[in-house]
A and B are shown apart, each in its own frame.
Chain A
Amino acid sequence: MLRYIVRRVLWGIALLFLVSAVIFLIFYVFPNADPAKLRAGRQANPALIEQIREQLGLSDPIWEQFLRYMTQVFTPFDWFGAAEHGGTGPLNFGRSFQSNTPVKEIILERLPATALLVAGAVVFWLLMGLPTGIISAVKRRTLLDRVTMVTSLAFISAPVFWLGLVALYLFASDVGVIHIFPGIGSYLDAETFWAKCWSLFLPWLVLAAATAAIYARYLRSSMIDVMSEDYIRTARAKGVAERNVIMRHGVRSAITPIVTLLGLDIGLLLAGNAILTESVFNIPGIGNEIVIAIRRSDLPVIQGIVLFGAFFIVTFNLIVDIAYAYLDPRVRYQ
Chain B
Amino acid sequence: MRLTRLRLLLPALLLVALVGVLSSCGGSDSGTSSEEESAGIPSEFKAPTAAPDNAQQGGTLVQLNEGDIDYMDPGAAYYQVTYSVTLATQRTLMGWPPDATQPVPDLAADQPEVTDGGKTVTFTIRDGIKFSPPVDREVTSEDVKYAIERSLLPGVPNGYTAAYLGDLEGFKEAEQAVAKNKTTAPDISGIETPDDKTLVLHLTRSSSTPVIQALSLPVSAPVPEEYAKKFDAESPSTYGEHVTFTGPYMVENNSSGELTGYTPGKEIDLVRNPNWDASSDYRPAYLDEIKIQEGFADPTSASQKILSGDSQISGDFPPSKTIVQEVATGNKYSTDQMVAVPSGGNRYIALNNTLPPFGPGKGLTAEQALNVRKAVIAGSDRTALRNTRGGELFGPVATHFIPPLIPGFEEAGGLEGPNLDFVQNPDGDAKLSASYMKKAGFKSGKCEGSICDITMVGDDAPPGKDTATVFQNQLEDMGFNVNFQPVAHDIMYTKFCSVPSNEPQVCPNVGWIKDFNDPQSILQVPFSGDSINPSNNSNWPQLDDPAINKAIDQAVTITDEQQRAETWGKIDDQIMAQAPAVPWVWDNDVLVRSEDVNGVANLFNGEWDLAYTSLTNP
Contact = CB atoms under 8 A, between A and B. Distances in A.
A38 interface: yes
Contacts of B68: 98-99
Contacts of B308: 174
Nearest to B158: A43
A284 B295 contact: yes
A98 B488 CA distance: 13
Most buried by A among B159, B265, B488, B490: B490
Interface residues of B, number: 35
Interface in A12-52: 33-34, 37-38, 40-49, 51-52
Contacts of A282: 296-298, 301
A120 interface: no
A99 B265 CA distance: 7
Given A34-B495, A37-B494, A48-B155, A183 B301 contact: yes
A42 B264 CA distance: 16
Nearest to B534: A46
B536 A44 contact: yes
A51 B460 contact: no
A42 B298 contact: no
B301 A41 contact: no
Interface string B57-86: 000000000001010000010100000000
Contacts of B297: 282, 292
B236 A48 contact: yes
Interface residues of A, number: 34
Contacts of B155: 48, 51
Given A42-B159, A99-B265, A282-B297, A48 B154 contact: yes
B432 to A, nearest CB: 38
Contacts of B393: none
A37 B495 contact: yes
Contact of B78 (A43, A49, A101, A295): A43
B182 interface: yes
Contacts of B493: 42
Interface string B4-34: 0000000000000000000000000000000
Contacts of A49: 535
A51 B298 CA distance: 36
Contacts of A228: none
Contacts of A37: 494-495
Contacts of A55: 235
Interface in B141-198: 154-155, 157-159, 179, 182
Interface in A161-218: 174-175, 183-185, 188-189
Contacts of B535: 44-46, 49
A296 B295 contact: no
A100 interface: yes
Interface string B271-308: 00000000000000000000001011110011011001
Interface string A110-136: 000000000000000000000000000
A277 interface: no
Nearest to B240: A100
A243 to B, nearest CB: 48
Contacts of A297: 488, 491
A185 B296 contact: yes
B235 A51 contact: yes
Contacts of B263: 101
A48 B298 contact: no
Most buried by B among A33, A34, A42, A189: A42
Nearest to A168: B301
Given A38-B494, A174-B304, A295-B460, A100 B264 contact: yes
A99 B264 contact: yes
A42 B157 contact: yes
A45 B157 contact: yes
Contacts of A51: 154-155, 182, 235-236
Interface in B499-537: 535-536
A187 to B, nearest CB: 11
A57 to B, nearest CB: 15
B536 A101 contact: no
A185 B305 contact: yes
Contacts of A48: 154-155, 157, 235-236
Contact of B298 (A40, A43, A101, A185): A185
B301 A296 contact: no
B616 to A, nearest CB: 22
Interface in A65-105: 98-101
Contacts of B76: 43
A328 B493 CA distance: 58
Given A45-B157, A101-B264, A185 B78 contact: no
A40 B157 contact: yes
A52 B237 CA distance: 11
A78 to B, nearest CB: 21
A184 B495 CA distance: 33
B536 A184 contact: no
A307 to B, nearest CB: 21
Most buried by A among B157, B182, B493: B157
A43 B264 contact: no
Most buried by A among B159, B263, B297: B297
Interface in A280-299: 282, 284, 292, 295-297
A52 B236 contact: yes
B264 A45 contact: no
A297 B68 CA distance: 16
Contacts of A175: 301, 304
B549 to A, nearest CB: 22
Contacts of A44: 157, 494, 535-536
A147 to B, nearest CB: 36
B159 A43 contact: yes
Interface string B233-251: 0011000000000000000
Contact of B536 (A38, A45, A188): A45
A46 B491 CA distance: 17
Nearest to B301: A184
Most buried by B among A185, A282, A297: A185
A185 B265 contact: no
A1 to B, nearest CB: 47
A292 B297 CA distance: 10
A185 B302 CA distance: 8
A99 B158 CA distance: 18
A43 B68 CA distance: 16
Nearest to B496: A33
25 contacts: A33-B491, A34-B495, A38-B491, A40-B157, A40-B236, A41-B494, A42-B70, A42-B78, A43-B159, A44-B157, A45-B536, A51-B236, A52-B235, A52-B236, A98-B68, A99-B265, A101-B264, A101-B265, A175-B304, A185-B305, A189-B305, A282-B301, A295-B460, A296-B488, A297-B488
Interface of A: 33-34, 37-38, 40-49, 51-52, 55, 98-101, 174-175, 183-185, 188-189, 282, 284, 292, 295-297
Given A42-B78, A183-B301, A185-B305, 13 more contacts: A33-B495, A41-B494, A42-B157, A43-B78, A45-B535, A47-B154, A47-B179, A51-B182, A51-B236, A184-B301, A188-B293, A188-B295, A295-B460
4 A-B pairs with least C-beta separation? A99-B264, A47-B154, A43-B159, A184-B301
